[in-house]
Amino acid sequence: MLEFRKDIFADERDDNLIEVGQPTARQDILGHVTGTSPYYDDHRFGNLLHLKILRSPHAHARIRSIDDSAAARAPGVKRIIRAADVPVNLNTLLSLIQFGKDDEPSLASDVVRYKGEPILGIVATSERAALEAMALVRISYDQLPAVLDVEEALKAGAPSVNATYPKNTFEYYGKYDHQKLRYGDVEAAFKQADIVLEDRYQMSPIEHAPTETNGSIAVPDTNGRFIVYTSTQALFFSLDTSAKINAMQSNQLHFIGGTVGGGFGGKVDTLTEPLSILAARLTGAPVRYRFGRHEEMQFGSPRGAERIYVKDGIMKDGRIIARQVRCYFDSGAYTRLSSYAVVKCTAHIPGPYTIPNVHADVYCVFTNRTPATAMRGFGVTAVDFAMECHVDKGAVAVGMDPLEFRMLNIYRDGDMKAHRRQAKNTALIECAQVTAEKANWPLRDEFRRMSSREGGSPERGGVVDRTRAPALASAPKLAPTDTGAARTRAPSVAPSPVVPQRIAYERPTAAEPARAAPPQQPAPRPIPTPSAAPPASTPAVSTHGAARFSSVFGTRRR
Amino acid sequence: MSITVKTYARLAEAVNALSSERAAHFLGGGTLIMRAVNEADPSVQTIVRSTDPVLLHIGVSSGRIELGAGVTMAAILAERELSFLHPVARAVGGPAVREAATVGGNLFAHSPYGDFAAALLALDATVALAGGFGQREQPLEEFLGRRDRGNAVVASVAFKRPLPDSFRFSKVTRVHPKGISVLSISAQVPSASGRVTGARIAYGAMAPTPVRAKAAERALEGRALDAAGIAPALAVAADGTSPADDAIASAWWRREILPVHLRRLLLGAAA
Amino acid sequence: MKTPIQFILNGEEVAAFVESGSNLLDTLRESVGDLSVKGGCWQGTCGTCTVLIDGVPRVSCVTLAETCAGKSIETTAGLRRGPDLHPLQTAFMERFAAQCGYCTPGMLMAAKALLDRNPNPTRADVIDAICGNICRCTGYEPIIEAVLDAAHGDARRQA
């Protein structure tokens, strides 16, 4: 049962909600309950061939030799696909937006870097024939020392996992081995704090385990074009990645997706399409590359494991005055999307709390494990888990109710965030109050009277060190800003009163009389002009049209 | 290479085919063999099956119960005389798997599967094997030690009907009821005048095959089924076990929680 | 080697030549053309491929096709009667019991097996009936509610 608390922030909006709050059937649910929703594998071709991949049994090894001659002659086998057959056999997913260097082969040739890494493709008339042929392949390996722990991977002398990033960390903007967030002076604050709480949090990789495994069917169409039925969540992304790896023009590919049998982030890595397309090109026949369940669990990318250190400085009255976070993302052997996850994580720290001193270092680390990918709340879920567990511990340490402890520290309108933007349109206090009401959780009067719109200011929280410019020692020179994207600059003195945004939906239908015009609203606050001082952390600006992809390049939406 | 399937009306003919065919396996419900076929496991090239009705026979007499090797978990659940075995049958997969999974197949299911076999072990069952020699009986414990060798086919299992309310079963799993076992405990704990006599305890997923907890059985002899009475048995609960580290649980965890669950089972506490 | 197989599918006689040792899931999808049956694990553990064989739920991916000769098989494709949906299908739609939809055919068949045998199931009965079917999207509650709705219909709405 959905309940609208329209009493809260009633003066800030018009409630002409038409769709929100109304149950609306999925447009494809009739297909789902009749078994007619088309998943990628619900297409039949008379001469369909099957691609199965031979994978590394070792976490780290040099391939000494491959003898696939017996496999090539095995019954039903049409083609063996080797590393040398792949037109562009080094890629990174975000090269499409010029973020990161190509580091991952589609088929390994000299070194395998994780258990399950693809080495050879076998295309045959049945899956059974392909698997039986696979058993005839002889590969000899020289095993290499493997590193399976993020902090071990960063130690001097650790085995180098990824040839493109030999120090086992992703490189940001060509020179940084991690992402930084600096605000205030945590060390000074820790000295002033009444309580300093430190802990380490760890999660394992988490497998999406969709009921439908990853897969695709590539079908020769006409005139050098291929139709690709795929389970991907990211149709255009997968199309462009496949075009790059196959050295094809994008217009030679027609990707048909739509119904994904469970994605959750695990069907963005484009793991099957490049090779199913290559197999179709090499054989002239439709080819399906479908993960078995074991492959989905072992080779299908998981949510990457993270290790997170959180250190809080807390005053006896309950204010969190400092938070230091060190976070290591286990990207596995290749980058895929973890470079971006780290940026999101850094942007999320220290959580929705007004903490005047924040220090974060977030690393994208390579290990000899299955490359990781996105999963719900990508980049943020685990660090939230760590920080919220830590906040609970802080409440215990201070002797405060955990909900009240949060309400004391949570953002309010006008507070300054560690990313030097002023909080606005906050509502967490009201969420906490309603939650407490629903859960019959007692709150003291003072907390029941709190409001997101009262008491916020850049100085709230106490210790704010203004003498230190929160600049990076080696920040690159600022290039001219991207055109058209005017940026708000957080004022460094008491802010003007926050004017609530107004949203009005006025869409009278033909049958409906026009609604009364909404009450007069004050003119929106003019956007402040950018100040002369450069913002604290700005990367070199990309010339790619996708520069507005804000979190990656550091530009901010207005 | 194609799989060969051979079907025989009589079990004895099926047994002959098993020894003469390459990489041949006798089909129970298919949950294990068909999975191997789907994965192109080279050790399964020939499937031998029999439609002999003797495999589906359930025999209940005053003292003895006989189950054909092809009797499914669902068939057991449908048989009121076997109500003491219902908790075990219900814990084998979900409804669809129970319609396929057989008594005989469960005897060959590798740890951590095989909870029904562990229950049969606690019931002191014997297996009737059909081979070139005809039929012969073998204690289940002896059979389990040699189950991966040889070509005999299990025709049926038999055991003495346990005394009323003396058979107990507990399956420890994260997903009830169908999850793979962290461990399972089957126990016959008959008591006379409040004292346990002749207890039989068997564990699933605590060793490569179901195993009897003989040290715990001895420690229960003559004891009362209360906290003090079972304490010595709990102390030796894990004796003779060799649990594995697998995706479900570590060996350490299995050893740690075993006495906790044995305690609950013996004291009749809710899981 | 191909072997002939004949059975009844959703009330119609079908026949096919299948590779010896084929499982029923592949037979239905590849040889007979019933794409309403889905494959999730090919190990018999996820329930996605659940069909009814002579009224009884079975995981088709580990069912040897040849054992189904002459039997009556029901799949999701056969649930509706022309334009009329089966009460389970309607209930699933009304209760938002499907998101990605991939587990839905298997869930529907598992639920049908229950309702055909027990038209008055308790919540515990429903949970047992679908306990062999994995859903990664809905958290199961909408599915349980849908099955109870299909069984008890108006009685539930009045409650």
List pLDDT tens digits, range C16-55. Answer: 999 999 999 999 999 999 999 999 999 999 999 999 999 9
What's the rounded Cα separation, in Å, for the pair C35 and C47? 16
Residues 6+ apart with CB under 8 A from B118: B184, B186, B202, B203, B204, B210
What is the predicted pLDDT for the residue at A498? 39
Asked whether residue A42 carries a pLDDT value surpassing 90, the answer given is: yes
Nearest Cβ partner for B1 among A132, A292, A294: A132
Q: Which of A330, A291, A275, A265 is nearest to A108 (CA)?
A: A275
What's the rounded Cα separation, in Å, for the pair C56 and C129? 11
What's the rounded Cα separation, in Å, for the pair A299 and A415? 45
Q: Rounded to a whole number, what is the distance in Å from the CA of A382 to chain C's nearest CA?
A: 20
Q: Assess whether A357 and A344 both reside in one domain.
A: yes
What is the predicted pLDDT for the residue at A462? 58
A-chain residues near C96 (CB < 8 A): 23, 25-26, 29
Tell me if chain B has a CB within 8 Å of the CB of A75: yes
Locate CATH 3.30.465.10 in chain B: 53-160
B-chain residues near C130 (CB < 8 A): 94
Q: Assess whether A81 and A198 both reside in one domain.
A: no
What is the predicted pLDDT for the residue at B191? 86
Asked whether residue A557 carries a pLDDT value surpassing 70, the answer given is: no
Asked whether residue A179 carries a pLDDT value surpassing 80, the answer given is: yes
**DSSP structure string for A156-194:** TTPPP-BTTBTTSB--BTTTBSSEEEEES-HHHHHHH-S
Residue A473: pLDDT band by 50, 70, 90 thresholds?
very low
What is the predicted pLDDT for the residue at B177? 80
Beta carbons of C92 and C146 less than 8 angstroms apart = yes
Which of A:230-259 have CB within 8 Å of C? 259
How many residues are present in chain B?
271
Nearest Cβ partner for A35 among C76, C88, C137: C76
What's the rounded Cα separation, in Å, for the pair A342 and A398? 31
What's the rounded Cα separation, in Å, for the pair A233 and A244? 18
Question: Residue A169 carries which side chain, given as an amino acid letter?
Answer: T
A293 located within any domain: yes
C-chain residues near B176 (CB < 8 A): 131
Question: What residues are paired with A322 via a beta bridge?
Answer: A313
Asked whether residue A34 carries a pLDDT value surpassing 80, the answer given is: yes
- Are the folds of C2-78 and C87-158 the same? no
CATH classification code of B53-160 = 3.30.465.10
Tell me if chain B has a CB within 8 Å of the CB of C67: yes
A427 located within any domain: yes
Span B111-156, pLDDT tens digits: 999 999 999 999 999 999 998 778 899 999 999 998 887 777 999 9
C-interface mutation test, from A211, A213, A232, A295, most C Cβ less than 10 A away: A211
Asked whether residue A241 carries a pLDDT value surpassing 50, the answer given is: yes
Placement of tokens 């902090």 in the chain:
A151
**Boundary-marking domain end, from A431, A448, A465:** A448
Q: Which two tokens stand for residue B131?
A: 């081979």
Residue A548: pLDDT band by 50, 70, 90 thresholds?
very low
Q: Rounded to a whole number, what is the distance in Å from the CA of B41 to chain A's nearest CA?
A: 8
Beta carbons of A72 and A80 less than 8 angstroms apart = yes
Nearest Cβ partner for B38 among C47, C50, C61: C61
Phi-psi region of A116 (alpha: psi -120 to 50; beta: other; left: phi over 0): left
What is the predicted pLDDT for the residue at A217? 98
Q: Rounded to a whole number, what is the distance in Å from the CA of A35 to chain C's nearest CA?
A: 4
The whole domain housing A186 covers 153-206+303-448
What's the rounded Cα separation, in Å, for the pair B101 and B27? 11
- As for how many domains chain A has, the answer is 2
What is the predicted pLDDT for the residue at A1? 67
| CATH number of domain containing A227 | 3.90.1170.50
Placement of tokens 């059979």 in the chain:
B143
- What is the mean predicted confidence (pLDDT) over A176-181? 96
Q: In what order do the strands lie in the sheet with A179-183?
A: A179-183, A358-365, A320-330, A306-314, A195-202
Locate the domains of chain C by residue range: 2-78, 87-158
What's the rounded Cα separation, in Å, for the pair B161 and A286? 59
Nearest Cβ partner for B2 among C21, C43, C132: C21
- What is the mean predicted confidence (pLDDT) over A58-83? 98
Q: Which of A234, A290, A310, A241 is nearest to A266 (CA)?
A: A234
Which run of H or of E encompasses A71? helix A69-73
Question: Which residue of chain B has the CA closest to C107?
Answer: B96
Q: Assess whether A439 and A342 both reside in one domain.
A: yes
Least trusted range by pLDDT, from A56-70, A328-342, A541-555, C56-70: A541-555
CATH of region C87-158, choose from 3.40.50.2000, 1.10.150.120, 3.40.50.1860, 3.30.499.10: 1.10.150.120
What's the rounded Cα separation, in Å, for the pair A483 and A97? 18
What is the predicted pLDDT for the residue at A555? 40
Beta carbons of A184 and A463 less than 8 angstroms apart = yes
A330 located within any domain: yes
Residue A501: pLDDT band by 50, 70, 90 thresholds?
very low
Q: Which of C127, C124, C85, C86 is nearest to C110 (CA)?
A: C127
- What is the mean predicted confidence (pLDDT) over C73-88? 96
How many residues are present in chain C?
159
CB neighbourhood size of C118 (10 A): 13
Q: Assess whether A292 and A311 both reside in one domain.
A: no
Nearest Cβ partner for B42 among A127, A135, A294: A135
Beta carbons of A55 and A213 less than 8 angstroms apart = no
Question: What residues are paired with B126 via a beta bridge?
Answer: B139, B158
Measure the N-to-C terminal CA separation of chain B; round to a whole number of Å: 48
Beta carbons of A122 and A85 less than 8 angstroms apart = no
Tell me if chain A has a CB within 8 Å of the CB of C139: no
A34-71 burial by CB neighbour count: b if 16+ within 10 A, else e? bbbbebbbbbeeeebbbbbbbbbebbbbebeebebeeb
What is the predicted pLDDT for the residue at A253? 98
Which run of H or of E encompasses C104? helix C104-117
Asked whether residue A15 carries a pLDDT value surpassing 80, the answer given is: no
A396 located within any domain: yes
Q: Assess whether A324 and A372 both reside in one domain.
A: yes
Q: Which two tokens stand for residue C134?
A: 């994995």
Residues 6+ apart with CB under 8 A from A56: A108, A112, A114, A115, A116, A117, A119, A141
Q: Which of A353, A344, A337, A454 is nearest to A406 (CA)?
A: A353
Q: Spell out, as residue ranges, where chain B has pLDDT lower than 50.
A: 270-271
What's the rounded Cα separation, in Å, for the pair A60 and A209? 25
A128–B42: do the CB atoms touch at under 8 Å? no
Tell me if chain C has a CB within 8 Å of the CB of A473: no
A208–C35: do the CB atoms touch at under 8 Å? no
* Average model confidence (pLDDT) across chain C: 96
**Boundary-marking domain end, from A238, A264, A298:** A298
Q: Assess whether A249 and A370 both reside in one domain.
A: no
CATH classification code of C2-78 = 3.10.20.30
CA dihedral B179, B185, B189, B194 (to 10 degrees): -90
The HSE-up count of residue A35 (CA atoms within 13 Å, CB side) is 27
A32–C35: do the CB atoms touch at under 8 Å? no
Q: Which two tokens stand for residue A301?
A: 């990318």
A501 located within any domain: no
Whether the upstream peptide bond of residue B139 has omega within 30° of 0, thus cis, is: no
Q: Is A29 helix (H, G, I), strand (E, B) or coil?
A: helix
Beta carbons of B207 and B121 less than 8 angstroms apart = no
- pTM for this prediction: 0.88
What's the rounded Cα separation, in Å, for the pair A339 and C43? 35
How do B191-192 and A287-290 pair as beta strands?
unpaired
Q: Assess whether A202 and A259 both reside in one domain.
A: no
Tell me if chain B has a CB within 8 Å of the CB of A361: no
Nearest Cβ partner for A261 among C41, C75, C100: C100
Beta carbons of A99 and A342 less than 8 angstroms apart = no
What is the predicted pLDDT for the residue at C158? 55
Nearest Cβ partner for C64 among B2, B34, B90: B34
Q: Using CB atoms, which chains have 3+ pairs under 8 A with C?
A: A, B
B-interface mutation test, from C17, C66, C67, most B Cβ less than 10 A away: C67
What is the predicted pLDDT for the residue at A205? 95
Separation in Å, CA A533 to CA A296, A490, A493, A530, B202: 50, 11, 15, 8, 76
A216 located within any domain: yes
**Boundary-marking domain end, from A415, A448, A481:** A448
Q: Assess whether A75 and A197 both reside in one domain.
A: no
**DSSP structure string for A127-160:** HHHHHHHHTT-EEEEEE-----SHHHHTSTTPPP
Tell me if chain C has a CB within 8 Å of the CB of A44: yes
Span B168-179, pLDDT tens digits: 999 999 988 888
Residues 6+ apart with CB under 8 A from A26: A32, C96, C98, C99
**DSSP structure string for A221-278:** -STT-EEEEE--S-HHHHHHHHHHHTT--GGGEEEE----S--TTTT-S--SHHHHHH
Q: Rounded to a whole number, what is the distance in Å from the CA of C100 to chain A's nearest CA?
A: 5
C-chain residues near B5 (CB < 8 A): 3, 20-21, 64, 66
Q: Which two tokens stand for residue A514?
A: 């026009």
Span A139-171, pLDDT tens digits: 999 999 999 999 999 999 999 999 999 999 999
CATH of region B167-267, choose from 3.30.390.50, 3.30.1120.130, 3.40.1280.10, 1.10.4190.10: 3.30.390.50
A140 located within any domain: yes
Separation in Å, CA A153 to CA A148, A168, A176, A230, A331: 7, 6, 17, 35, 11
What's the rounded Cα separation, in Å, for the pair B70 and B53? 9
In eight-state DSSP terms, residue B168 is E
C59–B5: do the CB atoms touch at under 8 Å? no
Tell me if chain C has a CB within 8 Å of the CB of B30: yes
Beta carbons of A412 and A354 less than 8 angstroms apart = yes
Q: Assess whether A57 and A163 both reside in one domain.
A: no
CB neighbourhood size of A388 (10 A): 14
ipTM of the complex, rounded to two decimals:
0.97
Beta carbons of A504 and A16 less than 8 angstroms apart = yes
In eight-state DSSP terms, residue B37 is H
What is the predicted pLDDT for the residue at B265? 96
| CATH number of domain containing A157 | 3.30.365.10
CB neighbourhood size of B17 (10 A): 18
